[in-house]
Amino acid sequence: MSDFSRRSFLGFVGAAGAAFTLPALAGCGSATPSTSTTGGKVAAFPKYIPFPGPKPDLPGTADGVQGGYLSYPSSLKQSVAEKPGDGSDVNALVITYSQPPSPLEQNKLWQAVNAALGVNLKFTIVSSADYSKKMATVMAGGELPDIMFLLNNPPLPRVDQFIAATCADLTEFLSGDAVKAYPNLANLPTYVWSGAGRVNGGLWAVPIERPIFGSPMFVNRTAFGAAPTNWTSEQFREAMKGFSAGGKHWGLGSSKGAEFGLPWHIQCFGAPNTWERAADGSFTPMYDSDAFPKAFEYIRKLKTDGSFHPDMLTLSVTDMKSAFYNQTIGGMNDGLAAYQTTIGKVKKSWVPDLALPYTTGTAAGIHLSSGSVGRVVFKKATKDRIKLLLRVVDFLAAPFGSKEYELTHYGVEGTHFTRSPSGDPVFTPLRDTENPDILPVRYVMDAPTALYIPGDPDATKRLHEYEKAVIAKAKVNPAYGLSSDTQTTVIAQLNKNISDAYTAILTDRQPVSSWADVVKKWKNDGGTKIAEELAAAYKAAN
């Protein structure tokens, strides 16, 4: 599920079909890396050692463009030398955006994963709606599971203090060359580790990778033609207005709480990625950018044009997606990982594509995410137990092109998938209810994302071309890997105030000019202090 209305703009990457939501300032949910449990020095991030698997047809890049595969590898590699477990139970607390899985006794995927891991993997599965409440209970003194997923956004209050007090320090197992014992964790790109940051200067968590490209504008390429590759703000407006003519179709979809796609529009108007770091080291919030009033005015024009679906304030995310699939709307924002799902839904009846930011005369650039949706921590245990848990997550991090990846992402051949004449996996009906989202192993650990869409190499090419086109001007948040104590205590209320202001302005209940007072209040209520603490954290980390 992608929840356009529930996550912080910082995260940009969430579940399968990750989140793209309300612009809300924060760091990246990790502590100031100024001291260490290793003698006062900041621990080195794990050494990056690429998986020696099948070479992609479309090469990736060090700055985050993903390798693309036009067909399924004909020969898969074994990435784990031996079964990681010892037959013991492993309890994991994870989030879900899907329905609950069927019980273990009836679940062939769960049984197969347990058999391959050599453990009895047990889940405490928490819905996204209940996650913050559940974590508050656990962090207040509840019984800890062996493995616990910590969502990046919204950030949990005082999460790093909780980690340092109750969880296992993994520094000696992961820092530098030590990660070689866990080759699939070594295959995680360095930017994923640095984006997740450190706790007290050490490595206490393993990040779960998601594409850094956030949540673009999905568009109907068939309807819009070549326009999405190179359009001005006026051309975008006219295209959306034209699609909306007739009263049965609308250029743009939005959903309840999604603020009319504001996070994407401010990127088109050149907003910084959450924070901007000046030459003197100070941090300035994106709210100071004139991109916000410009985007407010522009979205109001789109509304006046009749380009938004009339139920934009109440439409569910699911209904918005359905409207896109059946061409009731021509564009919507969604997580990059939802592209494959979209391809499957439309079944080549028309061509979904990703729009480049429209040009506005300013330095537009997409906002890159930290490269992770969250991180997993382990409860304190003996060294042997910690090594076992690391072997479990190492198995689940097995990359595309490995036998382990095929099991955790596609299931058991003949049960969850068959093969096409060209070798691509073809899913059986059982996979609709037994997959790594419903059985949420992806939130225990996951592989780095690869670009591969079974049976549709052209879709893979489009996605790869989009990434290449936007990476050069993409903007990075300088606060990734950092946090502030003030942020963890006041950010929820600050974000609510900002969200309320968006709604009031975009629904014409407040003038655009009211934004200046909103930003002033945000600063006075803690925003200025957060900026100061992030600047200090950045200096300590660099």
For 64-118, what is each residue's pLDDT tens digit?
899 999 999 999 999 999 999 999 999 999 999 889 999 999 999 999 999 999 9
pLDDT higher than threshold 60 for residue 495? yes
Q: Which of 24-33, 50-59, 67-76, 526-535 has the lowest mean pLDDT?
A: 24-33
Task: State the Cα–Cα distance between residues 429 and 502, nearest whole angstrom.
Answer: 42
Average pLDDT over residues 211-225: 91
Does domain 68-212+370-452 bear CATH number 3.40.190.10? yes
pLDDT of residue 483: 75
Task: State the Cα–Cα distance between residues 103 and 125, nearest whole angstrom.
Answer: 12
How high does pLDDT run on average in the chain?
90
- SS3 at position 37: coil
Cβ atoms within 10 Å of 30's Cβ, excluding its own: 29
Domain pair 68-212+370-452 / 217-365+497-525, same fold: yes
pLDDT higher than threshold 60 for residue 39? no
pLDDT of residue 143: 85
CA angle 487, 493, 497 (to 5 degrees): 120
Q: Enumerate the domain spans of the chain.
A: 68-212+370-452, 217-365+497-525
Integer CA distances (angstroms), 98 to 92, 211, 336, in order: 17, 20, 18
pLDDT higher than threshold 60 for residue 379? yes
pLDDT of residue 126: 95
Helix 291-304 with 515-522: angle, nearest 10 deg: 140
Query: What is the residue whose two structure tokens read 């209320």?
Result: 493
pLDDT higher than threshold 90 for residue 501? yes
Average pLDDT over residues 384-409: 98
Global pTM value: 0.84
- The pairing of strands 89-96 and 451-452 is unpaired
Give the CATH fold of the 217-365+497-525 domain: D-Maltodextrin-Binding Protein; domain 2 (3.40.190)
| Residue 286, C-beta contacts closer than 8 angstroms, at least 6 positions apart | 23, 25, 266, 271, 272, 273, 274, 275, 276, 292
Tokens of 333: 């924002």
pLDDT band at 40 (very low <50, low <70, confident <90, very high): low
